[in-house]
Structures are given as structure tokens and as C-alpha cells.
Amino acid sequence: MKVAIRERQKDKKMEKKKLNKLSPGLKKLIELDTRKSVGTLSQQMKKSGSPVSTYGEATLKHINGGATMQAALWLKNHIEHGGKLVVTLAGALSSFEVGVMLAELIRQNKVHLVSATGANHEESYYRYVAHSHYANIPRYTELTPEQEAELRDAGLRRITDTFLPEDESVRIMEPYLLKMWCEAAKKGERHFPHEYFRRLFAEKLIKPDKQANPQDCWTYAAFEKNIPIVIPGFEDSTMGNIFASYTYNGLHKKKGDTFVDSKVMKTGLDYFHLMYDWYMKESKTAPIAFLQLGGGISADFPICVVPSLKHDLRLPKVRDWAGFIEIGSSPMSYGSYSGAGGKEKITWDKLSTQSYYQIIQSDVTLAFPWIAAVLLGL
């Protein structure tokens, strides 16, 4: 036994000797695995107070799994030491029930601002009011054009492997929002899109569907915690399209149709101003990290606040983003902004050379649950 221990120690010394011969730049990129597991995986999980995280640390060690766990552990350390977190939502993640995780992260003060597409924002509400009317289509790739038309005629708007029931969601909320917009026009008021929506909760104008769990709704959690929501592309959503139709006063407007002055809605410029003030206030006392779920405008918009504060407003001592983590499937070679790596962001002064960055080439629905589990201590 003692001989075996001495041999292992000798091997470790030899390994360190080899590494010491490498150039300083290369050595920085190499991490020795100092973790030692004892017992079977099942035994380790039973002993752990956070079995899901333990399982992840024991099994997600390499490639995209390793990148996911490294990012999760960095974020956990960042938040535990007083750091704050911005989360951005692309695609149709709310329809894919990301709220189950995101709402809990918000409640436990792990997330401090959410930037979402107009669709992700509104679809969180739709899940809240119409959950029992949703259904899954696991074999959606086998649908024929004729079957897609059947769904259309039934008012079921497909979103990959699920669908949005329009009559039970969009059309339930539209009258309440229209009334708010008209009242704001009469009073000469302007509000953010998410502020109009929040009144649906505050004034109890909507109630959760019989099968919905309000605790799974991230916009409801954000309302309760009163954390900021940024929607840089409100018009690019169902309710944004509806708002556009009411503000239209051109050749094709039908006589007698309701008209709403577009000035009642604050715009992306106003959201950027909100980001200026929020970032400068919050970064005075805490470093802020950026977790990008997917790509698109919901991510590109808020990350630009740092370089804009530095170069456009020319403010001194603007704190850099502490870290940048992206989960996405757009490779850098495609040339998209969504696929731009952390190093490219340094050239735009979005990140500094000291910022942590990690790109996870994966599906958000696969990687984000692991990050959420670690942050929640599961």
C-alpha cells in the first residue's frame, strides 16, 4: 500500500516537472485535475447535500459538458461573493418552459435583470393564463403541410414541438392591454412594454390557468421581486404586432377601427437609457456577469451598455463585465454576432482581458438546467 502511494506521488512530481518546462502562456491554459472521488457515483450522491450538482461535477468533465460545469461553478462563486447576474433569453425559451428554472433563480436572488425578446416576455404570460391549452408534439418533424394548416385553422400556432393557443392566451390579454394603452394616450403617459404587462398581475386582471403553477412563471417572479426587464425588440412579438396595428393610421386603416398614439410605448432607446442607469448604479457595489441563453437582440443589446458608457458617454471608471457565458449553437465561422466568442468581444471593449468567458456550444434546454441546478444548490 505504502509503495503504491509513493509511486503515485512520484508520478505527480514527474508530471509537474514536465509542466514546468512549458511556456508561461501555455501553462496558464492547463489545469491539473486535483479532485479525488471516493466510492461509487451512487454513494457520492447519497452522501452529498446537493446530489444533482455532485452528479454533474463527477460526470461533466470534458468538452461541452465540461464547459457547462466550469461556467456553472464560476457563476456560483461569483454570486456567492456578492456578484450580480444579467440573463438574456432568445428564441422561444418561455414556451419551452425555461420559467421553471428562471423563476426560482429570480426568487433566490441569483438573477438581477432579464433581457428578453418580446416573444419570450409575452409567452411567459401566455403559459400562465393558458397552460392547460398547450400540448407537445414530440414527432413534429413528421407533420405534413396539410396538418400544419389544420393547426393554423384551429388557432394553434406551432413553436417547434409545442404550440401557442392564440384564443386562450393572446386574445384573453389583448383587451386589457388595449384599455391601458388608450388610457395612457388620454393622460399623455408613456410606459415600457413590461410595465403595461405587469399591471395584469398587479391589478389581478388575469389569473393562472387551472393547470398552471404561478411559481413556474418567470415574469411573475420578476414582478414579485421587482427586478428590471429589458425588451429591446417589443415590435417583434405577437402583442407588438397587435400594438403596431392599433398605432397604424395609413391607407389601409378601416374606418371606425381603434387608433392608439404610438408615443404611449417607450422604445428601445428608453430601455438603453434604463440600462445606463441600472448598470452604473449596480456596478458601484458589485461586479456584474452576463449569461446569454441563445443569441439575438436580447443579448447583443444589453452587453453593449458597457462600451457605450465608456466611449459614447465618455464616463471614467466604468466597470467591465465580470464574466460572459454563452450557451448557443452558432459557431464563430458563421460570422454572426451571436456566435462571436469572448475574445472578439474584447476588441469591441464589451469584455476586458480580465473578464471570465466561456462559450458552450449546446442547446440551451440541455445545458442551462445544469447551470441552474448548481446555482440553486440542488
For residue range 352-367, list pLDDT tens digits in order. Answer: 889 999 999 999 999 9
Mean pLDDT of 190-207: 97
Tens digits of residue pLDDT in 204-263: 999 999 999 999 999 999 999 999 999 998 999 999 999 999 999 999 999 999 999 999
Average pLDDT, the chain: 91
Name the H helices within the chain: 2-20, 24-28, 41-47, 51-59, 63-80, 99-107, 118-130, 145-153, 170-187, 193-202, 218-225, 238-247, 268-282, 297-303, 305-311, 342-347, 364-375
Per-residue pLDDT at 273: 98
pLDDT value at residue 335: 57
Tell me the average pLDDT across 63-85: 96
DSSP SS3 for 340? coil
Q: Supply 355's cell numbers.
A: 473578464
What's the pTM?
0.90
- The full DSSP string for 168-209 is TTHHHHHHHHHHHHHHHHHHT--B-HHHHHHHHHHTT-S---
Residue 49 pLDDT level (bands cut at 50, 70, 90):
confident
Q: Answer yes or no: is pLDDT of 334 > 70.
A: no
* pLDDT value for 4: 46
pLDDT at 339 > cutoff 90: no
- 128 pLDDT exceeds 70? yes
Band of pLDDT at residue 79, cut at 50, 70 and 90: very high
The pLDDT of residue 11 is 54
Q: What is the pLDDT of residues 253-299, one digit of tens each?
A: 999 999 999 999 999 999 999 999 999 999 999 999 999 999 889 99
pLDDT at 13: 61
Neighbour count for residue 60 (Cβ, 10 Å): 18
pLDDT class of 9 with cuts at 50, 70, 90: low
What percent of the chain is predicted at pLDDT more than 70? Answer: 93
In this predicted structure, the answer to whether residue 129 has a pLDDT above a threshold of 50 is yes
Distance CA 279, CA 113 (A): 10
pLDDT score, position 31: 80
User: What pLDDT is stored for residue 3 in this prediction?
Assistant: 45
Alpha carbons 74 and 96: distance in angstroms, whole number: 26
CA distance 332 to 94: 26
Q: How confident is the model at residue 337 (pLDDT cuts 50, 70, 90)?
A: low
Q: How confident is the model at residue 345 (pLDDT cuts 50, 70, 90)?
A: confident
Q: Is the pLDDT of residue 43 over 60?
A: yes
